[in-house]
Chains A and B, each alone.
Chain A
Amino acid sequence: MKQKKTTALFLALPWIVTLLLFWLYPIIYSFVVGFTNKRLLSKTYEWVGFDNYKTLLTDEAFLVALKNTAIFVIGTIPFTTIIALLLALLVNKQFKGRGLFRAGFFLPSITSMVVIALIFTNLFQRGGYIALLAEMLGFTVPQHGFLLDSSTALFSIMAMDVWMAVGYYMLIFLAGLKAIPQELYESAKIEGAGVVRQFFSITLPMLKPVALFILVINSIKSFQVFVEIFVMTQGKFETSTMVYFIYEAGLTTKFNFGYASAAAYILFVIVALFSFVQFKLLKQRGEAW
């Protein structure tokens, strides 16, 4: 018995070490540092109480980052979810070449974000294909392309993110569609319900848990947008986001660890709330299946 207990602990050792060293320690450390004025090269630092948090709430750059993150989350998620659902419906029924289309739609989601961001940097610039297409359709393209203009940069990156993510969420919707019992449709048909009626009375309500799940994981991910901002605009042209702000305040010229950690904790609280909901939903979903 004693030996079994030792085995149990031994097996979990890698996780316990990782947990303590690379998760709990950094999380607690950044909480504490958030109340100090620690910087990279200063050996000594002082407690400043809630000063970092107070300064953050009046820091223009932080507020812009917060606003942009909110725009990003609210602006991309409805589009991603609806387009993903439409794609899922389109490739749900059996037809020739279905697997190919599914794979093709999903392809952008497994490509490196750095690569995608590099490609779109070209496509969005003046003379790039998206700019050319926009001109053909009668839109005016900003003088230096979509990414070098404050009125279009953030929205362009958001559009790219929607394009990239829809295939991934399409697959999750497909799993949801598969879980709907066919008998429901059959009895609906017998009662004379048309395709549209079936969609609104059966498909949509049955997909609600999956849709909720998608909403939550997508928002958690969108709150942490960084790579595309870093590669495409370096946070310029009103595109800075929360994680970009943390990076810039803490790990570029200023190396203001205390300040950046406080900003990270604000993000942490926001995302933790969403994650909590995610777990609740996951559990429900696990029980339902």
Chain B
Amino acid sequence: MVKSILRYTMLLFILGIMIFPLLWMFRVSLMETGNSIQLDNLLGTSFTFQNYIDLFSNSQIGRYLYNSMFVGVIVTFGNIIFCFMTAYTIARYKYIVNKLLFVSVILILMIPIHIVIIPMYLLMVQFGIYDSYFALILPWLVNPIGIFLVKQYIDSIPPSMEEAARIDGASEMRILFRIVMPLCKPVLAVLAIQVFFTNWNSFLFPFILTQSDSVRTLPVGLALMQGHQAIDWQHLMAGSAIAVVPVLIVFIIMQKQIVSGITTGGIKQ
């Protein structure tokens, strides 16, 4: 009994440390501007949705939110289809080219993406797609970690069903999308969440590859909002909350897949 109380006290204490900053963010986002956001007011009665209304009517936050959603959804779908296609080729066809492909996936997996910021910037300028959705989408439609993850999964599926379908005369495309893909649903769900989160939270590339509000994503918009005006924490935290809420919702619904995605290993944040 004493042990149990001790355990819960400790757990609650740690939980407090882990979630306090986010709770603080939500609380401040609901405070009237002009109020001090410090101690006395945190538990006070000041409560308003005005900051959110202000942001949506007077700032570009709605635009950023749309951009983040748009880019996130396309990149996620791209990865589901393209990572699956590539993984299937590598797992099921035994040509030398396919071996080479797998080696390429492994090698790229090891490369720190941040080292290519300069050439990536130049490339986008050369292609004339700097500061457009294309710059935010095209390079990320398929990723080596995703291919690796799906390939491991396909390896564990016995090929007997595909062979049976092949004997029945089904086309390769039909086998791929009608038979194998449904079997891969669990791993594709894990992949989708991972890609969406990474994309939703990514900052460096969207930051260096865009310059106008019309294509900027939420993290970039938020980070630059702070630099622009004297800091108004109520609005800044309302903006932050807007960036966090979609992730929170997905997390609550898909907790199981997220956890299994991490524990199957080899996932970069």
Of B106, B108, B115, B200, chain A has the most CB atoms within 10 Å of the CB of B115
Chain B contacts for A220, CB-based, 8 A: 112, 268
> A8, B258: Cβ atoms under 8 Å?
no
Q: Kindly provide the distance from the CB of A113 to the nearest chain B CB, expressed in whole angstroms.
A: 6
Chain A contacts for B28, CB-based, 8 A: 122
B97 close to A (CB within 8 Å) = yes
Chain A contacts for B240, CB-based, 8 A: 112, 114-115, 118-119
> B93, A8: Cβ atoms under 8 Å?
yes
B122 close to A (CB within 8 Å) = yes
> B122, A257: Cβ atoms under 8 Å?
yes
Chain A contacts for B268, CB-based, 8 A: 217, 220-221
Chain B contacts for A115, CB-based, 8 A: 25, 219, 222, 240, 243-244
> A282, B82: Cβ atoms under 8 Å?
no
Contacts of A248-270 to chain B: CB distance below 8 A: 250-251, 257, 260-261, 264-265, 267-268
Contacts of B136-184 to chain A: CB distance below 8 A: 138-139, 141-142, 147, 152, 172-173, 176
Segment with Cβ contacts to B, from A101-109, A137-145, A149-157: A101-109
Chain A contacts for B123, CB-based, 8 A: 21-22, 25-26, 29
Chain A contacts for B264, CB-based, 8 A: 175
> A261, B118: Cβ atoms under 8 Å?
yes
B53 close to A (CB within 8 Å) = no
Chain B contacts for A12, CB-based, 8 A: 85-86, 89-90, 97-98, 101
Among A95, A104, A264, the residue within 8 A (CB) of B118 is A264
Segment with Cβ contacts to A, from B7-15, B43-51, B54-62, B69-77: B7-15
Interface string of B91-109 (1 = CB under 8 A from A): 0010101100100111011
Among B90, B138, B203, B247, the residue within 8 A (CB) of A113 is B203
Bound CA–CA A222/B149 (angstroms): 23
Interface string of A8-44 (1 = CB under 8 A from B): 1101101110110111011101100100000000000
> B88, A104: Cβ atoms under 8 Å?
no
Q: Kindly provide the distance from the CB of A231 to the nearest chain B CB, expressed in whole angstroms.
A: 5
Total number of residue pairs linking A and B with CB closer than 8 Å: 254
> A271, B152: Cβ atoms under 8 Å?
no
Q: Kindly provide the distance from the CB of B201 to the nearest chain A CB, expressed in whole angstroms.
A: 4
A246 close to B (CB within 8 Å) = yes
> A264, B116: Cβ atoms under 8 Å?
yes
> A272, B118: Cβ atoms under 8 Å?
no
B35 close to A (CB within 8 Å) = no
Segment with Cβ contacts to B, from A50-58, A72-80, A166-174, A188-196: A166-174
> B141, A14: Cβ atoms under 8 Å?
yes
Among B15, B112, B139, the residue within 8 A (CB) of A22 is B139
Chain B contacts for A123, CB-based, 8 A: 21, 24
> B110, A15: Cβ atoms under 8 Å?
no
Q: Kindly provide the distance from the CB of A169 to the nearest chain B CB, expressed in whole angstroms.
A: 9
Range for the number of chain B residues in contact with chain A: 35 or more
Bound CA–CA A109/B262 (angstroms): 11
Contacts of A82-129 to chain B: CB distance below 8 A: 87, 90-91, 95, 97, 99, 101-123, 127, 129
> A110, B86: Cβ atoms under 8 Å?
no
A198 close to B (CB within 8 Å) = no
B186 close to A (CB within 8 Å) = no
> B142, A15: Cβ atoms under 8 Å?
yes
Among B10, B88, B200, the residue within 8 A (CB) of A112 is B200
> B111, A105: Cβ atoms under 8 Å?
no
Chain B contacts for A230, CB-based, 8 A: 203, 207, 223
Contacts of B1-49 to chain A: CB distance below 8 A: 7, 10-11, 14-15, 17-22, 24-25, 28, 37-39
Chain B contacts for A8, CB-based, 8 A: 89, 93, 95, 97-98
Contacts A119-B25, A227-B204 given; does A168 touch B269 at CB 8 Å = yes
Chain A contacts for B37, CB-based, 8 A: 122
> B118, A4: Cβ atoms under 8 Å?
no
Among B19, B24, B85, B218, the residue within 8 A (CB) of A11 is B85
Apart from A15-B86, A282-B265, list 11 A-B contacts with CB within 8 A.
Answer: A11-B176, A12-B101, A22-B120, A109-B269, A110-B258, A113-B201, A119-B237, A122-B28, A261-B119, A264-B117, A279-B109
Cβ-closest 7 pairs across A and B: A275-B110, A26-B119, A175-B263, A26-B116, A22-B139, A8-B93, A264-B115
A-B CB contact pairs (8 Å), 8 listed? A14-B78, A19-B104, A101-B11, A104-B18, A122-B28, A171-B262, A227-B203, A246-B114
